[in-house]
Amino acid sequence: MLAEITNTGLVGALGCFAAAFSVASIGAKAVEGVARNPGAANKIMVQSIIGMALAEAVAFYALFLAK
């Protein structure tokens, strides 16, 4: 029973870590893109929000499917 709880927690933690890393990476690249081309800030923001939402879905899948 203890091993099952530990594996479930590990899967959830790794999924959340992957999502956090992805969101941070998307945010950093979006800031870099706006710094290079300020005129495209609105388009970059929309694309980065969509990308972050998809990356956050990984965390939800990891938490719900780990059970």
Q: Where are the domains of the chain?
A: 2-65
With contact defined as beta carbons under 8 Å apart, do 49 and 2 qualify? no
Please tell me the predicted confidence (pLDDT) of residue 38.
96
Q: Can you give the pLDDT at residue 67?
A: 67
The CA angle 9-26-63, to the nearest 5 degrees, is 20
pLDDT at position 50: 96
- The structure's pTM equals 0.80
Domain 2-65 in CATH: superfamily? F1F0 ATP synthase subunit C (1.20.20.10)
Q: What is the pLDDT of residues 39-58, one digit of tens each?
A: 999 999 999 999 999 999 98
The segments of the chain whose pLDDT lies below 50 read: none
